[in-house]
Amino acid sequence: MALVAWNETYSVKVRQFDDQHRKLIDLVNKLHDAMKNGKGSQILSDVLASLAAYAQAHFSDEERLMRIHGYPGFLPHKKAHDQLVAQVRYFQRQAETDGNTITLGVMIFLKDWLVQHIQGEDVKYGPFMNGKGIA
């Protein structure tokens, strides 16, 4: 069973971003599945690298549309993105120096951040973007 199962409460009503959020959730679930099978530490570095790259591309897409359309919550939203990127980089450094021993803490942090960010922050821009003709 997945740690995070996609459902409509995660939808921001912008297809591109819903698809990207699904991919981010899939990465967290991949780490969770590996942990359940005793292989979390073996894939932690790869998952973190994939997550960092994909999150940065996703954040860039969101931020670009926010800037173009004058989204009023842009600056705090970008700050939250920047903080996650910094945290993932920290986890990557820790995984390199500590031999991937932080898997459980990383998984819990990523799941909590992703769910809270989507449901608390990202859903706010959905109606704004929809009003700009973006669905």
Q: What is the DSSP letter of 9?
A: G
pLDDT at position 25: 93
Please give the pLDDT value at position 102: 63
Q: Beta-carbon neighbour count of residue 47 at 10 Å?
A: 22
Specify the pTM. 0.89
CATH 1.20.120.50 applies to domain 14-131? yes
**Nearest in space to 34 (alpha carbons), one of 119, 85, 127, 107:** 107
Across the chain, mean pLDDT equals 89
pLDDT value of position 97: 81
State the Cα torsion 76-81-84-88 to the nearest 10°.
-160
pLDDT at 41: 72
DSSP secondary structure code for residue 122 in this structure: I
pLDDT beneath 70, residues of the chain:
99-102
